[in-house]
Amino acid sequence: MGSHRNALVEAVRHELAEARGTARAVLAAAESARAEAQRHRRLVRDAYATCLNQLAEARDAARDAIERRYRHEANALAGNAGSLAALCAPGAAGSSWRMWSPTEPDRGTHPGLLRIGTIAFEHTTMPALVPLLDAAHLHVSGDDRIAVDGVISGVLLRALGTTRPGDVRLTVYDPERLGGTLAAFAPLGLTFVGPGGLGPMLDELVEHICRVNESVLGGEFGSLAELTAATVGPRPEPWRVVVLLFDGEITAAQRAQLDRILRVGVACGVHLIIRGLAADGAERIVVRDGIGAADTTGDLSIRLDPPPPADRVAAFCRATAERLRAGPPPARLADLEPPRLWRESSARGLVAPIGDGPDGALIEVPLGDDPPHALIGGPSGSGKTNLIYAWLGSLCARYDPGELALYLLDFKEGVSFARFTPGSRDDSWLPHVRLAGINVNNDREFGLALLRHLGDELRTRAQAAKRHEATKLAELRAEDPDGHWPRIVAVIDEFQVLLGGRDAVADEAVTLLEDLARRGRSQGIHLVLASQDVSGIEALWGRSGLIGQFTLRIALPKARRILAENNLAAAVIPRFHAVVNTESGAAGANQIVRLPDASDRVSWRTLQRRLWRAKPAGCQPPRLFDGDAVPSLPSFAQAATQGSSPGAVLGERIDVAARPARLRLGRMPGRNLAVLGTRVDEACDILASAALSLAAQGPAHFSVVCTLPEAQHAAARLIAELPEAAWYDESDLAQLFEVVPDDIPHYVLGYALDAVPGHKDRLRRLLADGPSARTHVLGWWRSVPRLRDDLGGPGARLDAIGAWVALDVHGADLGPLCPVPGGPVWYPRPRRALFFDRSVHRVPEVIVPYEVNSDPT
């Protein structure tokens, strides 16, 4: 029994030991789990704290980024808004009163917004702008009438200060103070309407709107602003701004008229500024405690500008009234330019403005089939050159060089047309100019050359027109892809110089002018003749066939004989004006034009350089003929001639192409040259240019004879430039006449051959027989009698001299050498010579000797 109890105790003890072991294991596991849980809790807490810190940092960073972006975008928005405000309200429309001054708008611009105060935004301020002209009516209300009236005064002053005088007509209805509220604007001639005048005023405005709708807009344009934008010049109707200052009631009829004006007045240029009276559809401005709000600015508060200073309003109104009495200012040269260059076609004619009329509208001058040609007249100092500048500048801005070609000739002493050609100070030129002649008062032959060139052009065009009719456009299109020739405008200033005198030049000039005037219109050639002398105009009146073609007349102040006898308009117009008449000067067809200052070099250079930079590829500078300039000898390549016989270049021909005058030296009898006259420098230049041009054409022998001391320096310079030239003086002249021909041209250059002693018989044989052996004499004799004496005396024949150049020799003395009975009509003048080659010429021609022997040292 004891053993059983012991076994039981032992079993219990064993189980208790196992239970205690299990409990200790469970406790250890629980302790471990608790420690792990605590560790995990600590990790979670640390992670949570870290997350909170990171979120806070991210939040702060995002908040800072948002604030920076907000400030950046707000500043950019404020800057853009400020820039936009400056564009929408430039000058007087948006400047503060301290800096305010009127700013007249440029032609073609439209009114913008008007400032009434400023808006504070962040750290910047922007102008608060409201619309008015061509945009809206205004309704101003508030608890402070003085502040409300100040807003109205400011809006009116800004509107008037940004428009031209007379563009705004102001009417004020003020039954309580009888216009005293806006009395400072009285000098402008505004209309005040008192008690009882509201109804008639509204009725008159409605009638005005109806008239504008019917007669001005005509249903084609939606508003007067659209019509103004589509036209050139000032508005066809001024704006009408009506200020209604009253707080009472109006009748139903007045309300109906007011509502009509509110609905359609803006489109017709009628604008209301209303204080106190309800006005649906108007831009609202509300004033409370010095702060304003407007429909345009929304919820933004406006710090209103103070009323404009009374002295500034009065000064502005007085100045504007003076300008109104003086009339509109003249157009500027820039005002004559179109919005875009070279957009017009000259196929049907030329039309361009030259100035503006009394109402400020540009006056256009036509040239085409009718009228085909123009006559300009005005005494010295009346602005004739300025008028021509304005006309040419306006034409060249509208028509490209393929549509218009200009030929300009000035017979007075001056350089009026030199500015159209490249110069030392300005390398630009007018791309339309083909030819400019200046200082040609002593070179009537150049005017004749121009008329001949135009006559050739006329015949070329007429023949092309016939081919066009025969070939159904094919050949003409090949010659002119645009389908028409460029129109030619030839301007001849002081043209009476060309027609003056009873000689062959005047007779041929009249014949050519009559032909060009009669037939030129059909071929696109137009003449513009100008004169400051009444005798010049009278030179045409005796030629009815010529004067009848000049139906476009432009008369400057005090011009005579340009207009019809009963048309006295030119006698009463002021300076800087002109009368444009397209009906041959008939009374009743006058247009009075105020001319711009086109003579201003800065304005003209600005236009010319724009045209020059836009010139088409291949456009060549114009040919400039300056009567006071001495041409230089062309390069040898240019001097060389084509053909079987060598050609000696003697000078420059007076023609459009600036061609050299050449003398062919073949084997025919008489192929010798005599230079006649006592002008040493010019005679030496002619011999030198002949020799140098001959030397450039191939192998040749040159023999130089000079016994005159005054010419030895020039002869020595020529010897230095001629290869293998021989020099002969008095001691060895006999050898000169014994030169054996070797089939190489031999040229004997004689300086003052009349001074060579002896050997007259040998000289005559050389002149007679030399050309057949290719030996030619190019000699200088100081007079015709001395030449005759060297050739055998008074009865001697002069056949050995086939060509001559006369310097200071009168025409009557040249009779023995010229087929013209009594000698040619020739009056010597410096740097001009008369050239005759009996194998080419029927009558002598005038040439300009080249400058060869000038010594810059």
Both structure tokens of 788:
């005759």
Nearest CA among 825, 796, 798, 801 for reference residue 813: 825
705-744 as b/e: b if 16+ CB within 10 A: bbbbeebeebbeebbeebeebbebeeeebeebbebeeeee
Q: What are phi and psi of 87, to 5 degrees?
A: -75, -40
Which residue type is seen at 122?
A: E
pLDDT confidence of residue 220: 57
Question: Residue 768 region, left (φ>0) first, then alpha (ψ -120 to 50), else beta?
Answer: alpha
pLDDT confidence of residue 612: 95
> What are the CA-CA distances from residue 352 to residues 217, 363, 366, 393, 473 (Å)?
25, 8, 7, 9, 29
Asked whether the predicted pLDDT for residue 707 surpasses 60, the reply is yes
Q: How far apart, in whole angstroms, are the C-alpha atoms of residue 575 and residue 587?
A: 21
Question: Tens of pLDDT along 107-152?
Answer: 667 788 999 999 887 677 888 999 999 999 999 998 888 899 999 9
> What are the CA-CA distances from residue 809 to residues 149, 408, 445, 679, 688 (Å)?
89, 32, 18, 10, 20
Helix (H) or strand (E) holding 230: helix 224-230
Question: Tens of pLDDT along 56-115?
Answer: 888 888 888 888 888 888 777 777 777 777 788 888 888 888 889 999 887 667 788 999
Average pLDDT over residues 800-828: 92
Question: From the centroid of its chain, how far is CA 314?
Answer: 39
Contacts of 149 (CB under 8 A, 6+ apart): 181, 182, 245, 275, 307
Asked whether the predicted pLDDT for residue 739 surpasses 90, the reply is no
Going by pLDDT thresholds of 50, 70 and 90, the confidence category of residue 481 is very low
C-beta separation of 411 from 617 below 8 A: no
Contacts of 20 (CB under 8 A, 6+ apart): none
Going by pLDDT thresholds of 50, 70 and 90, the confidence category of residue 472 is very low
Q: How far apart, in whole angstroms, are the C-alpha atoms of residue 210 and residue 396?
A: 41
Q: How far apart, in whole angstroms, are the C-alpha atoms of residue 205 and residue 55?
A: 69
Q: CB neighbours (10 Å) of residue 253? A: 11
Nearest CA among 678, 722, 729, 690 for reference residue 706: 729
Please return the burial class of 121, using the count of CB atoms within 10 Å of its CB with bins 0-12, 13-18 and 19+.
middle
C-beta separation of 810 from 790 below 8 A: no
Going by pLDDT thresholds of 50, 70 and 90, the confidence category of residue 276 is confident
Contacts of 828 (CB under 8 A, 6+ apart): 677, 806, 807, 808, 809, 810
Both structure tokens of 316:
């502005």
Q: Beta strand 283-288 with 270-275: parallel, antiparallel or unpaired?
A: unpaired
Question: Tens of pLDDT along 426-443?
Answer: 889 999 999 999 999 889
pLDDT confidence of residue 475: 45
Residue by residue, DSSP assigns 78-123 as HHHHHHHHHHHS-GGGTS-GGG----PPPTT-----EEEEEEEETT
Question: From the centroid of its chain, how far is CA 745?
Answer: 55
pLDDT confidence of residue 689: 95
Contacts of 630 (CB under 8 A, 6+ apart): 831, 848, 849, 850, 851
Please calculate the CA angle 347-655-809 and round it to the nearest 5 degrees. Answer: 155
Q: How far apart, in whole angstroms, are the C-alpha atoms of residue 312 and residue 309?
A: 5
Q: How far apart, in whole angstroms, are the C-alpha atoms of residue 391 and residue 598?
A: 9
